[in-house]
Structure 1
Amino acid sequence: MTATRLAAATTASALAQRLREAIDAGRWSAGDLLRQEQIAAEYRVSRIPVREALAQLQSEGLLDIAHYRGARVSRPQAGEINELFDLRLLVESDLLARALGRHDQRSLRELGRLQDRLEDAEDRLGWISGDIAFHEALYAPAERPRSLALFRQLRAPIDRFNAQALGPGARKQGWADEHRQLIAAVAASDAAAAQAILEQHLQATRTVVLAACAGQGED
């Protein structure tokens, strides 16, 4: 790759990250159009890295790009949400089962610390990042990096929707109770209880996300 092409790729990657953060922060909502010329002017780049950045976000499921109609922020559909949660149940149940016997007092204290911080979160992005950190710490002892990467990939479309549609108050007490119950089950090495709590947790979250998606679809 030439120096020029390398610079362009770097610019596109950096631009994709900035656009991703702007969408997460609520600058554009589901269905909003991202105009190439406006982005190029605002971020002082040419159209080429803009197109590449938009294509990258499309590959992540964040944008829908239609020929001659531009790029729009995607809105998850009920079928996609259900599929993502079905896959999350499979992946996260396996991670939890493998991690269960490997937690120690130090990792359990870390889970408690992360949950304390999560319960104090008041903004949407802080709440989502705190929830991700909790689940990653819960599954980390499994030492399954590919499964953890898949866990993050499956969460991403829903987290971006949640960043705009939900917040810490959506089901705060229920999520907190289930996280605390998960910590207790892991500490007791109770695999059956841990799996049951995780399934309840993900199914309840699915219900909230589906309801929020349906509500936005009525706008």
Structure 2
Amino acid sequence: MQLNYFLMKLSKQLLSAYLIILITVFASCSTNRFTLKEKRIIKKSGTNNIMQIMLVSNQTDSITLYKKSRNIKADSSNRHLTTLVQKMYVTVRDTNNPGVGIAAPQIGINKRIIWVQRFDKQEKPFEAYFNTQIVYYSKTKSEGREGCLSIPGYRGFVSRSDTIIVNYDLLNQTNLTDTINGFTSIIFQHEIDHLEGILYTDRIKDKSKITKRIKKN
């Protein structure tokens, strides 16, 4: 009787452990894959492969913008990923609507992918990063004016850390940790906020600091 009880209890424990493993594996796989909707967005593009920017003023778009993004395996053999990365670059470099950074949620993809212009490097290149996390924020902060492709026509003053330490993956699956200072650190913080479902306007308590941008003729 005791032996049967022990075997039954052991079987339940093994079943529970097996289910946990299955759930973990499934969650890992689903995190690293694009959804069918995301694949359709990647395949679709406008003139010169420029992708449509999600706007906070659009109710449907705002759902994506305020959703937290998930990790994606950096893999140069993933054609959907490489296509997305290339199209994001073309989009942020659009001469009609240029930016200094862009995050995947801004084009409808809730994955942790960003492009950042590295003003801290000699050639000021644009570079792509995957699964970026900020692991350190300096206590010293500065307030600067920011804008956003998803909130066109407006600017606002945001307080950000002067120095951050970030950890990220590159497309070749290299994992790096980098210390970023100055204006480039502001761009990183802005784009990583997008991955967390946060817009720069959410960080401005005094909404009077958000002003319309005056276009110069």
TM-score (norm 2): 0.26
Name the one with the larger helix percent.
Answer: 1
Higher strand content, 1 or 2: 2
